[in-house]
Amino acid sequence: MSADVRALIDRIASALGPEATPERVERVARAVLDARAPAEPARAPAPSRRAHADVSSPPDGATRVVVTAYGEDQPGVLAAITAELSAAGANVLDVSQKVLQGYFTVVLVADLAAGTDLGAVRQTLQSRGEAMGARVLLQHEELFQAMHRP
């Protein structure tokens, strides 16, 4: 197992906290790793996965987005989000999750390949989140860069 995959699994396990059963960690990790599969052969190589999002620009034509979810803590939200992102062919670069006083927040940074219908991905994530009592947002990363990295 390569070091970055091990680091990823450790991160997922610590993010899931007491909910971290081996099966759940595996499911989330698989979803994240699946997202690395190139959507098309011509796509530029994905940036190496590290504990933090790479700040270099996303690969050609890709859109870098920030996905935020928050709500009352319950198992499976992060897994649902990563599964949907995986299905959309997204490349997840960074995941942070915090649980405080029964409320969780998840922030993911991901690259969506050129041609991805952002609206459809947002809609799917929102519906999946709502069904689990979570609010999910998908926003172009440029907004955060403009506000916090002038």
Partner 1 sequence: MPLSLTEVLETVRMTEADAFDIRTVTLGISLRGCASRDAESTRRNVVDRVRRVAEHHVAAAEEVERLYGVRIANKRVSITPAALVADGFSPADFVRLAEALDGAAAEVGVDYLAGFSALVEKGATPGDAALIEALPEALAATERVCASVACGSTAAGINADAVLSVARAIKGMAARTAERDSIGCAKFVAFCNAVGDNPFVAGAFHGPSEPGAALNVGISGPGVVLRAIEALGPEADFGAVTDAIKTMAFKITRAGELVGRRVAERLSERSGARVPFGVVDISLAPTPADRDSVGDVLRAMGLVDVGAPGTTAALAMLNEAVKRGGLMAARHVGGLSGAFMPVSEDQAMIDAAASGHLTLEKLEAMSAICSVGLDMVAIPGDTSAETIAGILFDEFAIGMINDKTTAVRIIPVAGKGVGEWADYGGLLGRAPVMPVSGVGNAVFARRGGRIPAPIRALTN
Compute the distance between CA of residue 130 and CA of residue 77 in angstroms, rounded to an integer: 10
Q: Which residues pair with 140 in a beta bridge?
A: 65
Question: Nearest approach, Cβ of 118 to partner 1 (angstroms)?
Answer: 7
The residues, any chain, with a CB within 8 Å of residue 56's CB and separated by 6 or more, are 47
3 state SS of 5: helix
Q: Which is nearer to partner 1, 27 or 140 (CB)?
A: 140
- Residue 7 is a binding residue for partner 1 (CB under 8 A): no
Rule CB under 8 A: choose which of 68, 71, 75, 132 binds partner 1.
68
* Stretch 47-66: interaction string toward partner 1, x if CB under 8 A: -----xxxx----------x
- Residue 36 is a binding residue for partner 1 (CB under 8 A): no
Q: Which is nearer to partner 1, 17 or 37 (CB)?
A: 17
The residues, any chain, with a CB within 8 Å of residue 59's CB and separated by 6 or more, are 43, 44, 45, 46, 47, 111
- Residue 131 is a binding residue for partner 1 (CB under 8 A): no
- Residue 143 is a binding residue for partner 1 (CB under 8 A): yes
- Residue 96 is a binding residue for partner 1 (CB under 8 A): yes
Count of Cβ atoms closer than 10 Å to residue 29 Cβ: 18
E-assigned strand segments in the chain: 63-72, 91-100, 103-112, 134-140
- Residues contributing to the site for partner 1 (CB under 8 A): 52-55, 66, 68, 70, 94, 96, 98, 105, 107, 109, 118-119, 122, 135, 137-150
